[in-house]
Structure 1
């Protein structure tokens, strides 16, 4: 759990965090989660989150004049679901400042463990949802994504099918992002239109629940109506959902006039924290690589996701998750450069951009984007598959593969290369100048490193400021002071031309590999 405080000039005043494993060891989690013995079910204890809120605010009141906080917003990990029982509203509206949240709300849930984004136990449900809608592309056209294990609708379907008593005892279903403001306001708050896009249940273009998607979970009209009531009405992203409950005013010193703005999903909040505008791309380089961007056109694809943009109602947020990121880069480095990045960098300089026509594809695990099974696939300049590359060719090939894949699939979900502006990179590999330079050349635009590490938390603070104080003004104009970034790479015109010619060749080979997967 992280918290950021900004002032009216968008300067960061304070930051604090709660480490679930270290500070709340009584819940016996590993990095805040419980991995179940079946190897696919992953949950988090709801009461741990409640206790973390109290621990965070205890730290908060010692560092900041809490009474001066005008508004609060934030985000939650996407896809996680919380199941409130029929007594939840009573407990929420009667929080006592002498008891902590976990104690006061101990009997408010139909299920004490929340399925979270790491869960992959819903294969049957994903198949059922896609079949009921007429195929994965039909589902993507409605909900912004094909069915994914972690998406909330599939998790809810699993509860309906396999935990009937839990579902029947559930009066309200929250996402993590609506669970937190529900606690802060002392009443159940609806799911925001941004994060609802990570459920496979909302019509993304209309911003309302899709009757077709709901019907795949609850088969009769009566059951659909019950499910829709449990989910509640979708809340626009910019909604002031209430004010801080008396519990937080009395226990921590918040003003009773402090407004709570609808929370959203963590990835959507990062888009706000980076102030990404149309033409910008953000790339997080980590264990898995994530790319997100603002797009004007609604162009659904099987491998990506489209959400309603939480800070720009005229655009959508597109997102791509590449499963094979830093571990794959590290593996190739270990093989060709004896685990040394300096030696790896030297190897890259021994080959030109375009790698003399050699192209490789590297997947330690079955890839999501594109849908290709694990393995290494190498092609020479004639398009012929080969078993190996020389060390220098291999070093460049793995980076060119990952950079070209990002551009190719960004264009597949609506990125317009002719309207390009900037790339922001974050994550451990953002300091690798060869990667950032290659991204600049492949996308033909400047690359910046964002100085603020917690873009998701910052996005919540910026949205709170905008919605509470500057609602009638453009979010990007009034949030510009929050951007702290430095230019790290600019495109080389000769390399740009090479990669422009290389991209369709790369795309053709990728299709060839994907087709082979189905044989």
Structure 2
């Protein structure tokens, strides 16, 4: 969990973070998640997120940060993850005592204690059901911007409903991670924004309303549990009195809709039409601003967080920074400096040595395992360390370009831009 405070000149005046594994060891997460025994189910404990928020605000308070200067706040959350509020939780959220850290007040508020997150790939049967219900994968993409994906929230909700219908029935509201975080600050259920809502397989991206056929294919009474989506730049209301009383926020501090991490990257990078950006994170993403999208079976079209009348295109690669860190640890003694030196010591093209590195089941394309090929295109079992490092980096970036071009993206040299 990261916090950053900026002034009216956009100068950074404060930043800090809480590391889930190190700072909250009682939750016993690895990389902030639990990977279940089936290797497909991946979740995070909801109360860990709440406790991290308590912790970061207390750190700011201890450092002397003046919360009364904060005029507005917003945020970004990992896409696709979902939080399930138990019936009656709205009252507890609204009336939380400023004498207690928030995680203590909310400890019994969640019908699902471990939230499914974007790394989860356990909903293959639900994806198949959803695509069949709307007339196939391409038709689903044409409605919602993407074919059915295991990590997408609608399929996760469908799994919870099919496996634990009583838990689903006890749920009064389903938030995305972004709208969940906004809800904590708002003191009531924050709506899902158009942009993050586009990563659910549930939102009609053209009309910006929930698709009835998709909702019905996932679970009964779902529209009521999701609430109405809103533009990503909407002002949701003033901050909850809890924060004024506990930390000294001004009562009129505005809460602006939170959105997903990928849409937030497009906004933060100030992308315009024709621009392309690559975000290197836990998952790597390639994204661009687009006026007239043509949703396909690969990649995603989301509502644009900056301009609700336009769109953003997104390609997601699951084996990102965790994969790079693993090779760094194996081949460079855990040091990025050593990693960079090894990369610099080898020639571009890696003398024809090529590798595909998928520790976990990849999204683009669907593949798993480590696959190495020498200059004669023969499969080999290992590379020297410096060759391994370049094979990883070149392989990852070539994949990004190839998949972007397959989707019709024009990757041109900068000086050829019109």
Q: What is the aligned partner in structure 2 of residue 444 from structure 1?
A: 413
Instruction: Provide the residue aligned with 1:467 in structure 2.
Output: none
- Whether the aligned pair in 2 keeps the contact of 1:296 and 1:414 (CA below 8 Å) is no
* Residue 46 (structure 1) aligned with residue 64 (structure 2): no
Report how far residue 284 of structure 1 moved.
3.1
> What is the rounded CA distance, in whole Å, between the counterparts of 1:252 and 1:231 in structure 2?
30
SS in 2 for 1:276: coil
Note the residue ranges of structure 2 that are not aligned, 5 or more in a row: 332-337
Contact 2:182–2:257, Cα closer than 8 Å, also in 1: yes
Contact 1:360 1:397 in 2 (8 A): yes
CA shift, 1:304, in A, is 0.8
Q: Which residue in the other structure is 1:5 paired with?
A: 5
Query: For residue 115 of structure 1, what is the aligned residue in structure 2?
Result: 116
- Residue 191 of structure 2 corresponds to 190
Q: CA deviation at 1:344?
A: 5.3
Number of the residue aligned with 1:433? none
- Note the C-alpha offset of 1:91: 1.0
**Distance change (3 Å), C-alpha of 1:88 and 1:407:** same
Measured in 2, the distance between the counterparts of 1:232 and 1:64 equals 35
CA distance in 1, matches of 2:109, 2:362: 39
TM-score (norm 2): 0.86
Aligned-pair CA distance for 1:400: 5.5
The CA deviation at 1:40 is 2.2
Query: Cα distance, 1:398 vs. partner?
Result: 6.7
Aligned counterpart for 1:282 among listed residues 266, 277, 286: 277
Q: Distance in 2 between matches of 1:25 and 1:64?
A: 26
Residue 314 of structure 2, aligned match among 308, 312, 319: 319
Which residue number in structure 1 is paired with residue 403 of structure 2? 409
Give the 5 Å matches for 1:477-492: none
Task: Give the alignment partner of residue 237 of structure 1, picking from 224, 232, 253.
Answer: 232
Question: 1:300·1:413 contact (CA, 8 Å) conserved in 2?
Answer: no
Q: Is the 8 A contact 1:32 1:44 kept in 2?
A: yes
- Structure-1 residue corresponding to 2:335: none
1:305 and 2:300 matched = yes
Alignment match, 1:200: 201
Q: Tell me if structure 2 keeps the 8 A contact 1:21–1:32.
A: yes
Deviates more, 1:399-408 or 1:288-297: 399-408
Q: Which has the higher contact order (CA 8 A, sep 6+)?
A: 1
Deviations 1:8-44 (A, max 9, x none): 0000010011122232233232333223333322222
- CA–CA distance in 1 between the matches of 2:263 and 2:362? 23
Q: Equivalent residue for 2:246? A: 251
Q: Deviations 1:264-294 (Å, cap 9, x if unpaired)?
A: 0112112222222222222234675321222
Contact 1:76 1:176 in 2 (8 A): yes
Distance of aligned partners of 1:414 and 1:211 in 2 relative to their CA distance in 1, 3 Å threshold: farther
CA shift for structure 1 position 369: 2.1
Contact 1:318 1:413 in 2 (8 A): no
Task: Tell me how large the CA RMSD over aligned residues is.
Answer: 3.2
The aligned counterpart of 2:257 is 262
Are 2:4 and 2:12, in contact at CA under 8 Å, matched by a contact in 1?
yes
Map of 2:334 onto structure 1: none
Task: String of CA shifts for 1:421-472, please: whole Å, max 9, x gaps.
Answer: xxxxxxxxxxxxxxxxxxxxxx412xxxxxxxxxxxxxxxxxxxxxxxxxxx
Which protein has the bigger helix share? Answer: 1
**Residues 1:37 and 2:37 aligned together:** yes
Q: Specify whether residues 386 and 92 from structure 1 end up closer, same or farther in structure 2 by C-alpha distance, changes over 3 A only.
A: closer
Structure 1 SS opposite 2:207:
coil
The separation in 1 between residues aligned to 2:275 and 2:35, in whole angstroms, is: 36
Secondary structure of the residue aligned to 2:83 is strand
Query: Aligned with 1:255: secondary structure?
Result: coil
Q: Is the 8 A contact 2:357 2:392 kept in 1?
A: no
- Superposition deviation, residue 104 in structure 1: 1.6
**Matched position secondary structure for 1:109:** coil
Paired residue secondary structure (1:174) = strand
